[in-house]
Amino acid sequence: MSLSTVSTDLVRLGTRRSALAMAQANSVAESLRAIGVQVEIVGVTTDGDRSARASSPLSEAGGVGVFVTELRTRLLARDVDVVVHSLKDLPTGASDGLTVGAIPVRENPSDALVARDGLTLAQLPQGSTVGTGSPRRAAQLRSVRPDLDVRPLRGNVDTRIGKVAAGDLDAIVVAAAGLARLDRLGEATEIFTPDVMLPAPGQGALAIECRVEDVVIDGRLHAFISQLDDFPTRAAVVAERTVLAGLEAGCTAPVGALASLSGPQGSQDLHLVAVVVSVDGMTAIRGSATGAAADAEVVGRRLVADLLEAGAADVVGARP
């Protein structure tokens, strides 16, 4: 991707205040500065951050959008000019007055295990305690290793890893992207392959959101933001999130999806795989679909139809 240098006034970039969110915002800021944009990072505390400090489950803290609502409010109020989200945290529905101006190159979308004594998932002894705040991860863990004691876990990456170091848990599962952005990927004892655990739709990707009026009325802001957009990443996450939307499942639902692109630029193919797992891990419905990357949403809808025909709606709607 070739970036052209632009000249603009100061851009206020909104982000959550966590160490990981700040690292993500700084990576976007560096890319914008590389094309001549002046950037000021503005930290915002969200409801999700407040509930994380209280260690309450995400599903009880507001669920879908808990990390993005305050950022969007500040953006619409013009307190900031753009905001950076972890794309997997974004609700799949459109937000009035806002649009995703760019989706930069994706970090590793996989999930990672951080375990005591360098153990892998297969090496963890029977009954080992594994912490995760994600129903999707918990369901897939129970599907692969029903003998494990999977426990709810909230907090930032330091807090979660600290539970293993202190001996409170035998292992945790977190996003590999988060570890990489914090320069802690070396602490992972296993990076899960898709056949073991499919990531959340959009995991590892960032979304740079801006106001629609800045695109329609005055396109200068969008003109330089769009230079950070990566087509392969956008096509992949569109396909994945189409599955999530089609199943009417939120970002905390036990749905995993991953798309990959292949072939020459301009005529790439997209391969999409997805899984819906019951909370207890006893039922897993998996499917795949392939098509043109330019038709990512169509590929996603085709896979949704297959999953629904196989009974995915009952699995997504099930409660523990």
CA 278 from chain centre, in angstroms, equals 20
Query: Which of 274, 276, 279 has the alpha carbon at shortest distance from 318?
Result: 279
163-218 confidence digits (pLDDT tens): 999 999 999 999 999 999 999 999 999 999 999 999 999 999 999 999 998 887 67
Is 117 a residue of the active site?
no
Mean pLDDT, the chain, as a whole number? 90
Mean pLDDT, residues 131-148 taken together = 96
- Cα 26 to Cα 258: distance, rounded to the nearest angstrom: 26
Please report the domains of the chain, with CATH numbers, ordered by start residue. 11-104+204-229 (3.40.190.10), 111-191 (3.40.190.10), 236-317 (3.30.160.40)
209-261 confidence digits (pLDDT tens): 999 988 876 778 888 899 999 999 999 999 999 999 999 876 667 999 999 99
Lowest mean pLDDT across 67-81, 103-117, 286-300 = 67-81
For residue 50, pLDDT over 80 is answered with no
The reported pTM is 0.89
For residue 51, pLDDT over 60 is answered with no
25-46 confidence digits (pLDDT tens): 999 999 999 999 999 999 998 7
- The end-to-end CA distance of the chain, in Å, is 46
- Note the pLDDT of residue 49: 58
**Which of these is catalytic: 49, 81, 89, 214?**
89
- Note the pLDDT of residue 116: 98
Phi and psi for 170 in degrees, rounded to 5?
Answer: -80, -25
Query: Which of 293, 287, 288, 289 has the alpha carbon at shortest distance from 270?
Result: 293
Q: Which two tokens stand for residue 4?
A: 């052209």
83: Cβ–Cβ under 8 A, 6 or more apart, which residues? 13, 14, 15, 44, 71, 72, 74, 75, 208, 209
Q: How confident is the model at residue 67 (pLDDT cuts 50, 70, 90)?
A: confident
Mean pLDDT, residues 77-103 taken together = 93
Mean pLDDT, residues 291-319 taken together = 92
- Note the pLDDT of residue 203: 97
Strand extents, DSSP E, 147-213: 149-152, 171-175, 190-191, 206-211
Lowest mean pLDDT across 48-52, 80-84, 99-103, 157-161 = 48-52
Lowest mean pLDDT across 56-70, 125-139, 164-178, 182-196 = 56-70
